[in-house]
Amino acid sequence: MNRRDFLKRCAAVGLGGFVLSNRALEVHIGRQPNIIFISCDDMGYADLGCYGCTDIPTPNIDSIAAKGIRFTNGYVSCPVCSPTRAGWVTGRYQQRFGYESNFGSKRFEEYVGLPLTEITIGDVMKSAGYVTGVVGKWHLGLHAQFHPFERGFDEFFGFLHGNHSYIDPGVGTWNPILRGTKEVDEQEYLTDAFTREALGFVERHCNRPFFLYLAYNAVHSPMQAPERYQDSFPHIEDPTRRTYAGMLAAMDEGVGKLLDKLRELDLEEDTLLFFINDNGGASGNGSNDYPLRGKKGSMWEGGIRVAFMVQWPGRLRRGVTYDYPVIALDILPTAAAVAGAEPPRDRVIDGVNLLPYLTGRNKGAPHETVFWRMKADYAMRKGNWKLTHEDGASGLFDLALDIREEHNLATERPEVLEELEGLYTEWNSQMIDPLW
């Protein structure tokens, strides 16, 4: 079934075309809860207070962990931006549909983007009766056929490509700020503008279930902090990290305003909220991934293990850490379960509904294995064992003892290496070649 047929079926049978049941909901409540999905961009693993940062205060993002659950082994499905987003909006390994790397310049815009056969989290939530909106960075295709309006979203404010100036609106360029499909001469610092738009979305739709995808481009380059934070971090000697700190502080401030708005409208306890970073910190932007090895673009932990947390006050535990591996692909099936809907059944959904695990009903691990592939590099994890194939060489690491992936155990444990290589080969046989 393609996306068009899926939407026709949903319209024909009513509320989402999904099977609604108490089994799908871990906690059944009278009204469908709101769902907010916040992502940031190129942030280091160790750049939030709740993950050990000491030089940049992030009290608002940290409060999500304090009121909810912080994942210590949270992953994305790719170490770069666009494929990660293709994965988390579909709940599927993006290699299943050939979306393996970022796309380049405007000349590819008619051909490159999230395949139209894919069903998105916007489709799922909209078909379940939600009003849906995207604020921020899209990066899933520039052409009109890939626009959020064509992928299950009712509202859009942001830009379509991979990065954008925080202070230049880009009017008249091939990647302007858009409201819907119309160019906007945005004069506010871009992170602040995205916060403003997110607050407006929540206020407009506070009387019905809503799904908001707030995709900050902070702290992605260009390195441009707002003026109000220019002199706020004199203790940071590195000028790049000082700028980075101002950009991160502006995003943290925005997250705080959104959390305040939920409390003001008495929506906090009726809102499931995710926060995640899209890949490891980028080289040269001042980010800190310690103690992980590698950065953005790498199959080492520093490229794929990210800050990831969730809160749902009154329904999920507060202030706890969750140590089993989870992956961004889990967001779609978890959101579907909370909405009382099931993801489409005509395709493999690689993510899992995390609710039984987060509430403690299921004591096991959500995933026995997780996988990564980008061009010639690949990796997989089973339990604490990690296979990392980077730059033509494979290594075997015990992450419980060696989070920095410094001690290659391939020679000492050849049977484990063989098992993991076999599991990767089996998974890889189910994927297709990159479309570009």
Edge-to-edge strand list for the sheet holding 182-183: 182-183, 178-179, 155-159, 131-137, 210-215, 34-40, 271-277, 308-311, 69-71, 320-322
Integer Cα distance of 136 and 216 in angstroms: 5
314 — pLDDT class (breaks 50, 70, 90)? confident
Residue 8 has pLDDT above 60, yes or no: no
Across residues 287-307, what is the average pLDDT? 98
Q: Encode pLDDT of 235-250 as tens digits.
A: 999 999 999 999 999 9
Residue 111 has pLDDT above 90, yes or no: no
Active-site residue 139, yes or no? yes
Active-site residue 147, yes or no? no
Q: What is the pLDDT of residue 343?
A: 83
Provide, rounded to the nearest whole percent, the portion of the chain with pLDDT above 70. 92
Residue 16 has pLDDT above 50, yes or no: no
Nearest CA-CA partner of 186 in 163, 167, 160: 167
The domains located in the chain, with CATH, are 32-367 (3.40.720.10), 371-428 (3.30.1120.10)
18 — pLDDT class (breaks 50, 70, 90)? very low
Phi-psi category of residue 239: left, alpha or beta, with phi > 0 → left and psi -120 to 50 → alpha: alpha
Residue 157 has pLDDT above 70, yes or no: yes
Instruction: Give the active site residue among 81, 147, 161, 164.
Output: 81
* Of 103 and 143, the one with more pLDDT: 143
Q: What is the pLDDT of residue 88?
A: 98
Q: Which residue has the tokens 């890889």?
A: 428
Q: What is the pLDDT of residue 28?
A: 40
Q: What is the pLDDT of residue 83?
A: 98
Q: pTM (2 decimals)? A: 0.94
Q: What is the pLDDT of residue 106?
A: 62
Across residues 56-80, what is the average pLDDT? 98
Across residues 69-93, what is the average pLDDT? 98
Q: What is the pLDDT of residue 11?
A: 47
| Summary mean pLDDT of the chain | 93
Q: Encode pLDDT of 382-429 as tens digits.
A: 999 999 999 999 999 999 999 999 999 999 999 999 999 999 999 999
* Of 9 and 191, the one with more pLDDT: 191
Answer for the pair 13, 7: CB distance below 8 angstroms, yes or no. Answer: no
Integer Cα distance of 125 and 128 in angstroms: 5
Instruction: Give the active site residue among 139, 164, 205, 220.
Output: 139
Does the CA dihedral 215-218-224-226 come out positive or negative?
Answer: positive
Torsion of CA 352, 322, 290, 60, to 10 degrees: 100
The DSSP line for 90-110 is HTS-GGGGT--S---SGGGTT
Across residues 149-169, what is the average pLDDT? 97
Token digits of residue 287: 């980010």
308 DSSP β-pair partners? 276
Q: What is the pLDDT of residue 107?
A: 58
Q: What is the pLDDT of residue 6?
A: 56
Residue 39 has pLDDT above 50, yes or no: yes
Residue 7 has pLDDT above 60, yes or no: no
Integer Cα distance of 410 and 417 in angstroms: 6
Across residues 183-200, what is the average pLDDT? 98
Q: What is the pLDDT of residue 103?
A: 82
Q: Encode pLDDT of 114-139 as tens digits.
A: 999 999 999 999 999 999 999 999 99
